[in-house]
Amino acid sequence: MPSDFLTRLSRSAEKLTETDQKMVSALLDRREELVFLSGPQFAERIDVHGAAPTRLAQKLGYKGFPELRRVLQEEMMNAPDAALRMRRSVRAAGEGNHLSELIASEVTALQNLDALIAQPAIDVVADAIFAARKVFVFAQGHALSLAQFLSRRLERFGKPTIVLTGRGRDVAERLVSMSSEDIVVALAFRKQPSTYAPMMRHVRDTGARSVLIADLSGLVMVPEPDHVLAAPRGRSGSEFQTPTVPFVIVSSILLTMAARHEEDTIGALEKLSRLFEDFDKP
């Protein structure tokens, strides 16, 4: 069952201020630490105005912060049994066993992924990418390695791609050739990159389609894309996180494209294999 908090958050993303986004990020990243605090305690802990938690709750359609807090507490306490069992297993492993803790965290995140992103949503995104004339892949920082993986795989399917990275002017230069027949796949984690908003405004003005693959911070990124595939990564956002979950999302899109458009995608791979044979000849 979808999270009430996340559902309301996705509907209200355009209304959220910078302070609202700061509070939302804290609640997503540090839920176990913050969800039992009162509104004033929460405000003090993350350094916002004392009335800010109440205003955020009301924007999301709750009567006040106590109701928002109660919903988050219930969602946390009703987490899947697998997650609770995994957490107990990690604690039983003892301090310092970072490999076991990391494996447990990633497995839990992957087990919960299916409840957050349904296959029909993957189907829609895969079809939109397949139908596009060109695919612009946007990434900054740590997301760049995943963008390069996606770009290379799409090229193997015969889909022209352009990677949007670097400073603002670098991104702008690569956007000049965009048309309404194209699509942007944005990869962003933890917070909204400074180049995200102007890029998305240009995408809208051009009439191109857009997809955002993100952790839960993607639910408050604006302008809102046409499609959002968002899920939490393994650990709390205040700790080291890996790209395992977004890598699985990207891989599922690629596999879905291959399955739903087999003749074109597999045909392109077969053509590539013949080219490899030709180029590998002495």
What local confidence, expressed as pLDDT, does residue 86 receive? Answer: 45
Instruction: Grade residue 37 by pLDDT with cuts at 50, 70 and 90.
Output: confident
Q: What is the mean pLDDT of the chain?
A: 86
What local confidence, expressed as pLDDT, does residue 36 receive? Answer: 78
Nearest one of 268, 152, 138 to 192, comparing CA atoms: 138
**Strand order from edge to edge, sheet including 183-188:** 161-164, 135-139, 183-188, 209-214, 227-230
Under a CB-based contact definition with an 8 Å cutoff, are residues 49 and 18 in contact? no
What local confidence, expressed as pLDDT, does residue 146 receive? Answer: 96
Report pTM.
0.74
Q: What are 172's two structure tokens?
A: 């702008």
Q: What percent of the chain has pLDDT over 90?
A: 57
Write the pLDDT tens digit of every residue in 99-118: 777 787 788 788 878 877 88
Write the pLDDT tens digit of every residue in 116-130: 788 999 999 999 999
Q: Can you state the angle between helices 168-175 and 196-206, rounded to 10 degrees?
A: 10
Say yes or no to pLDDT of 132 above 60: yes
DSSP three-state, residue 240: coil
User: Which region among 128-137, 142-151, 237-246, 252-261 has the lowest average model confidence (pLDDT)?
Assistant: 237-246
Say yes or no to pLDDT of 165 above 90: yes
Q: What is the C-alpha to C-alpha distance for residues 47 and 17, in angstroms, rounded to an integer?
A: 15
User: Between 33 and 34, where is the model more confident?
Assistant: 34
Among 56-65, 124-133, 189-198, which range has the highest average pLDDT? 124-133
What local confidence, expressed as pLDDT, does residue 89 receive? Answer: 45
C-alpha gyration radius of the chain? 21
Task: Give the strand pairing for 183-188 and 161-164.
Answer: unpaired
Write the pLDDT tens digit of every residue in 192-237: 899 999 999 999 999 999 999 998 778 778 898 999 998 888 655 4
Under a CB-based contact definition with an 8 Å cutoff, are residues 25 and 191 in contact? yes
